[in-house]
Amino acid sequence: MLQDKLGRPLQDLRISVIDRCNFRCTYCMPKEIFGKDFSFLPKDQLLSFEEIERLAKLFVQLGVKKIRLTGGEPLLRKDVTTLIDRLTNIEGLEDIGLTTNGVLLGKKAQALKDAGLHRVNVSLDALDDDVFQSINDSGVSTKKVLDSIEQAQQAGLVVKVNMVVKKGMNDDQVIPMATYFKEKGITLRYIEFMDVGQSNGWNFDQVVTKKELFEQLTNHFELEPVDPAYIGEVAQRYRYIDMDTEVGFITSVSESFCSTCTRARLAADGRFYTCLFASEGLDLRNLLRSNLDDQAILESIVPTWKNRKDRYSDERTEETAKNRKKIEMSYIGG
């Protein structure tokens, strides 16, 4: 088993298939920076589906069991179902998921399921339409996303909902979101506001911690803890006492899980990153297009993981969060 310097295996691969998004969320791709004049990657600088498939096969050889497609917004990538079909046929790959804002999910849900997709994580940060539109800054209503979730379920996809909680932005939506998705039988996961990239103006004062979220929830619901499903699981999971529906917390800021992180990331431009908060990555696109054979590419990937010692969330301070150069979320995915 391939392990890094802290003994962490390589088991999960996040693949960002595009750097574009149809939202301009204020904590991720604010319009002031990612406006009409922003230069996104041209098509020839994105990995082709053939290149992604080839790399996925190599990563599976090294121990990857799960792949999640991200963006940007991955459903903006033309014919993404073709890629899913290719990945589904990789021997040894156990699970394929996709993270989306949900806008395009409804009309593509059945095609995604037919291509072999197992599950989707839908990002939704508020039920209140005014709050949601102030966050996405794109005029999209909650109804559009909620309808897509229903259509995805009807297509047979497993759906979870992710909610980034930021103080003063949407912390008043914590209980309404829990109530709604509890009644729908859908797992909701709260994500602490993180300092990903350079554009979101992050500071500690804006973080609503898992402890604070848990206290809010237990004032309204009875919860019991759920054991992790596998080593390296990110979410701290709980179950509503009167049903099987779960709620989870992703606690990168207040309760770091660096010690069990098994995730690698393949960015939209083909760079391989060993941490969500990385500053530099290995240019696999260049290696692929240099006509190297698989063994030569593996000989670059393997030492990159073996030398990995990332534990940024363990070491985060206001100063490092402010001064460390980090890759934007639109390139590296969530």
In a domain, 266, yes or no: yes
In a domain, 185, yes or no: yes
Residue 251 near residue 257, CB atoms below 8 Å: yes
Strand 271-273 to 66-70 pairing: unpaired
Our measurement of the distance from residue 104's CA atom to the centroid of its chain's CA atoms, rounded to an integer in Å, reads 17
Query: What's the confidence (pLDDT) of residue 10?
Result: 97
Dihedral sign of CA atoms 211, 214, 218, 223 in order:
negative
Q: In the numeric block, which tokens belong to residue 111?
A: 């095609």
Q: Is pLDDT larger for residue 54 or for residue 325?
A: 54
Flag whether pLDDT at 202 surpasses 80. Answer: no
CA distances from 9 to 12, 63, 87, 303 (A): 9, 8, 21, 13
Q: How many CB atoms lie within 10 A of CB 81?
A: 18
Q: Is pLDDT larger for residue 270 or for residue 27?
A: 270
127 phi, psi to nearest 5 deg: -90, -35
Range of the domain at 97: 12-332
Report which of 165, 162, 160, 161 is spatially closest to residue 192, judged by C-alpha positions.
Answer: 165
What total number of domains does the chain contain? 1
In a domain, 264, yes or no: yes
Grade residue 200 by pLDDT with cuts at 50, 70 and 90: low
Query: What's the confidence (pLDDT) of residue 186?
Result: 98
In a domain, 4, yes or no: no
Whichever domain contains 231, its CATH number is: 3.20.20.70
In a domain, 121, yes or no: yes
Query: What's the confidence (pLDDT) of residue 328?
Result: 80
Report which of 186, 146, 185, 193 is spatially closest to residue 165, judged by C-alpha positions.
Answer: 193
**What's the CA gap between 270 and 290, in Å, rounded?**
13
Q: What secondary structure does DSSP assign to 115-178, as a single string?
A: HT--EEEEE---SSHHHHHHHH-S---HHHHHHHHHHHHHTT-EEEEEEEEBTTTTGGGHHHHH
Dihedral sign of CA atoms 331, 332, 333, 334 in order:
negative
pTM above 0.75, yes or no: yes
How much is the average pLDDT of 168-180? 97
Q: How many CB atoms lie within 10 A of CB 282?
A: 19
**What's the CA gap between 21 and 113, in Å, rounded?**
22
Residue 327 near residue 334, CB atoms below 8 Å: no
In a domain, 1, yes or no: no
Query: What's the confidence (pLDDT) of residue 234?
Result: 83
In a domain, 6, yes or no: no
In a domain, 53, yes or no: yes
**What's the CA gap between 304 and 323, in Å, rounded?**
24
Query: What's the confidence (pLDDT) of residue 18?
Result: 96
Residue 220 near residue 175, CB atoms below 8 Å: yes
